[in-house]
Amino acid sequence: MKVIVADEYEIMSREAAKIVAAEVRNKPDCIFALPTGGTVFGLYEELIRMHREEGLDFSGVSTFNLDEYIGLPPDHPSSYHYYMYERFFNHVNISRDRIRIPNALAEDPEGESVAYEWAIKRAGGIDLAVLGIGRNGHIGFNEPRTEFGSVTRPIYLAKRTIEANARFFGGDSDSVPRQAISMGIRTIMNSRRIVLLASGTEKSRAINQTVHGPVTDTVPSSVLQLHPDCTLILDKEAACELEPSANGFVPGSGTKTMVY
Ligand code: GLP
C-alpha cells in the first residue's frame, strides 16, 4: 500500500486530482467510482480548475457514485445527487448519460442495487475508485462488520456515521436518513485502482488501523491492504498515527511518500 502524506489539505487535494487527471488523460473513456463528504471538496474544486484552465476533458468519462441516502429526492440539498451536481458535474463537460448515482427513491431498493451492480459490470468495471473514509473505517457506506464479499445493496447507517454526517443536515442527526444504497466491499475491491483520501485528526485512528491493523471486518477499510494498487493520500493530521516506513522518500512539493 502506497501512502502519500501532504503538508496541507490543499496539497492533498491537488495530489489526488493529479491521479484522477492522469487516469482521464490515459484513458479518456475511463470509469470512476466517486465519493462524497467534506474531505473531497478540494479534489472536486481542483478538477474543475483543471477542466477550465488546462482543458481536462471529461466528455468520455463514466462515473458511478459509491452511495446515496434512501428516501432523499435528488433535489434535496443533503442528497448525494445534489452534492455531486453542485460540486462537480455542473462545472465540467461530463456527459449526463454517463453519470450513475443509486436511485434512492426506487420502490424496490434491492432491485435497484442489483441493477446498479450489473451496470458497473456491463460498463466494464471500475478503473479508479476514489474513496473517503468514515471515522469508524467505513468505505462507501460499508459499516463495521460488513462482509468482504458484499456487493451493492441497501444498508443501515451506524450510529456514529449518523452523528458524523449530521453536519450536512443542519446539525440535526434526526434528519439523517437511517438507510442508504451503497456499493459493497467486493464492488470496491474489484476496481483496478483505488485512491483513498483522509484529512484531519479525527480520521487518524481509522487510518492507522487501515495501514497497520489486522485485516478485519470490524475496520472495513483494512481490506484495502489486500488490494494490489491502492494509494492513500492524507494530510499530516490524518497521518499522525502512522509509523514511519523504512522506504519513505520525499519527492518535494510538500509531500512525503511511504510504502507499507
Ligand atoms: C460518508 C460517505 C463516505 C465518505 C464519508 C467521509 O459517510 N458515505 O463515502 O467517505 O462520509 O466523509 P467526510 O469526508 O465528510 O468525513
Distance from the alpha carbon of residue 134 to the mean position of ligand 1, in angstroms = 5
Stretch 144-173: mean pLDDT: 96
Ligand 1, residue 202: give the atom nearest the CA: 16
Task: Give the percent of the chain with pLDDT over 90.
Answer: 93
In this structure, are residues 68 and 112 in contact, taking their beta carbons and an 8 Å threshold? no
Residue 227 scores a pLDDT above 70:
yes
Distance from the alpha carbon of residue 106 to the mean position of ligand 1, in angstroms = 22
Q: What residue type is 71 in one-letter code?
A: G
Distance from the alpha carbon of residue 35 to the mean position of ligand 1, in angstroms = 7
User: How many residues in the chain?
Assistant: 260
Model confidence over 65-109: pLDDT tens digits?
999 999 999 999 999 999 999 999 999 999 999 999 999 999 999
Model confidence over 39-55: pLDDT tens digits?
999 999 999 999 999 99
Residues 6+ apart with CB under 8 A from 40: 13, 16, 130, 132, 197
Whole-angstrom Cα distance, residue 216 to residue 239?
Answer: 20
Model confidence over 184-208: pLDDT tens digits?
999 999 999 999 999 999 999 999 9
Q: In the annotation, is 138 catalytic? A: yes
pLDDT of residue 253: 74
Q: In the annotation, is 217 catalytic? A: no
Q: Supply the DSSP symbol for 131.
A: E
Q: Which of 12, 13, 36 to mutate to test the pocket of ligand 1 (most atoms within 8 A of CB)?
A: 36
Distance from the alpha carbon of residue 236 to the mean position of ligand 1, in angstroms = 19
pLDDT of residue 254: 87
The catalytic residue among 143, 165, 227, 235 is: 143
Q: In the annotation, is 143 catalytic? A: yes
Whole-angstrom Cα distance, residue 47 to residue 85?
Answer: 14
Edge to edge, the sheet with strand 249-252 lists 99-100, 62-65, 31-34, 128-131, 193-198, 230-235, 2-6, 255-259, 249-252
Model confidence over 122-131: pLDDT tens digits?
999 999 999 9
pLDDT of residue 82: 98
pLDDT of residue 245: 78
Residue 116 scores a pLDDT above 70:
yes
Q: Which of 9, 32, 34, 39 to mutate to test the pocket of ligand 1 (most atoms within 8 A of CB)?
A: 39
Show the ligand 1 pocket: residues with CB < 6 angstroms.
Answer: 35-39, 66-67, 132-134, 140-141, 161, 165
pLDDT band at 19 (very low <50, low <70, confident <90, very high): very high
Distance from the alpha carbon of residue 38 to the mean position of ligand 1, in angstroms = 7
In this structure, are residues 196 and 238 in contact, taking their beta carbons and an 8 Å threshold? no
pLDDT of residue 218: 98
pLDDT of residue 252: 64
